[in-house]
Amino acid sequence: MKGPDPVLEVANLQTVVRSGGRDLPVVRGVSFDVSAGEAIALVGESGSGKSMTALSMMGLLPAAARVTEGSVRLSGRDVLRLDGLELRRVRGAEIAMIYQEPMTALNPLMRVGAQVVEGLRAHAVPSGDARSRTLEALGEVGLPRPERIARSYPHELSGGQRQRVMIAMAVAMRPKVLIADEPTTALDVTIQQQVLGLVDELRQRHGMALIWITHDLGVVARIAERVLVMYAGRVVESGRSGDLFRRPEHPYTAGLLGSIPPALGDKRPALLQIGGAPPDLAALPAGCTFHPRCPQRVAKCSQQDPALEPRGDDLVACWVPRDRWVS
């Protein structure tokens, strides 16, 4: 599915993790694109490869992991082919990530203003400009009295304030693409809602593309125009979020959604648990990797792996059309 003006194009991304002397596939041929100003969501069970996909795109994989194939084109340039220096220039300036546990992103020993300044300076913003842009960025994320906040250490701020500082750091350079990786255990729900509202507003104001990784279907319904559903390192379904919620075409998506359509507003339904366990990456099942857990499986499913193909307006990787599902 091509947007009108893709700013980020991921094609056949494959990432492995070295574990016990072998390479385990954690991202298996992920392809998608995002347009300027568009918001998409990445959903899937724990361990399905969402964070590994994001970290691959950012060039921030842990030491044990590496990308083995594919491309991540950002305004036409392949991020995966950049050297260390070029990558550091692109990261932050063109593609940025917010971790929703702000303490992992902030240095506890440094005043927060100095941290934002340092980020800007790393992208060759002159120091005077960096200072004024820091105060501007802190103001833009709704922190009152930015001068005072800038002088504070992370521990002197509330959880919500720290999250706003982290967002200010991420958007200070006006990146074209912003990735948010939400922890499974949401912090305070009210704070999360505020952060979501703020990031969405910044997306609209600056025309950033937004990739939101979440377990929370309320979040998806509220902000994402399109959803990608991941299972065992692959995208198994993608489509417009409204259509996908109303009419999932993949049994895995249907399982995650259950029968509850996500409510808008402050009810925040999470992905449902589905029966069985995610597959062992060291011994992926033959055929469709979901077939051992799938209530709709037919003989072919254990023999041949379905490709992600158009079905209506969606892309789906499944042999069994929805009208042949058994209830």
Ligand X SMILES: Nc1ncnc2c1ncn2[C@@H]1O[C@H](COP(=O)(O)OP(=O)(O)OP(=O)(O)O)[C@@H](O)[C@H]1O
Contacts with ligand X, residue ranges (CB under 6 A):
17, 19, 26, 44, 46-52, 62, 64, 184, 281
User: Between 125 and 211, whose beta carbon lies closer to Mg ion?
Assistant: 211
Asked if residues 171 and 178 have their Cβ atoms less than 8 Å apart, the reply is: yes
Q: How far is the CB of 50 from Mg ion (least distance, A)?
A: 5
Task: Give, in order, the Cα–Cα distances in Å from 81 to each of 9, 14, 71, 85.
Answer: 14, 14, 8, 12
Integer-rounded Cα radius of gyration of the chain: 20
User: Between 62 and 258, whose beta carbon lies closer to ligand X?
Assistant: 62
Q: How far is the CB of 57 from Mg ion (least distance, A)?
A: 13
DSSP-based three-state secondary structure for 48: coil
User: Between 135 and 219, whose beta carbon lies closer to ligand X?
Assistant: 219
User: Between 51 and 163, whose beta carbon lies closer to Mg ion?
Assistant: 51
Which listed option, Mg ion, ligand X, none, makes contact with residue 281 (CB within 5 to 8 Å by class)? ligand X
Which listed option, ligand X, Mg ion, none, makes contact with residue 158 (CB within 5 to 8 Å by class)? none
Which listed option, Mg ion, ligand X, none, makes contact with residue 17 (CB within 5 to 8 Å by class)? ligand X
b/e 33-61 (16+ beta carbons within 10 angstroms → b): bbbbbbbbbbbbbebbbbbbbbbbbbbeb
User: Between 142 and 183, whose beta carbon lies closer to ligand X?
Assistant: 183
Q: Distance between CA 60 and CA 66 in Å, rounded?
A: 10
Task: Give, in order, the Cα–Cα distances in Å from 267 to each of 142, 147, 219, 222, 262.
Answer: 24, 36, 10, 11, 8
51 touches Mg ion by CB under 5 A: yes
48 touches Mg ion by CB under 5 A: no
Q: How far is the CB of 183 from ligand X (least distance, A)?
A: 7
15 touches Mg ion by CB under 5 A: no
User: Between 51 and 192, whose beta carbon lies closer to Mg ion?
Assistant: 51
Q: What phi and psi values does residue 65 have, to the nearest 5 degrees?
A: -110, 150
b/e 95-104 (16+ beta carbons within 10 angstroms → b): bbbbbbbbee
Q: How far is the CB of 81 from ligand X (least distance, A)?
A: 22
Q: How far is the CB of 51 from ligand X (least distance, A)?
A: 3
Q: How far is the CB of 49 from Mg ion (least distance, A)?
A: 8
Q: Distance between CA 215 and CA 176 in Å, rounded?
A: 24
Q: How far is the CB of 184 from ligand X (least distance, A)?
A: 5
User: Between 23 and 305, whose beta carbon lies closer to ligand X?
Assistant: 23
Q: Distance between CA 294 and CA 161 in Å, rounded?
A: 43
What does the binding site for Mg ion look like in residue numbers (CB under 5 A)?
Answer: 51
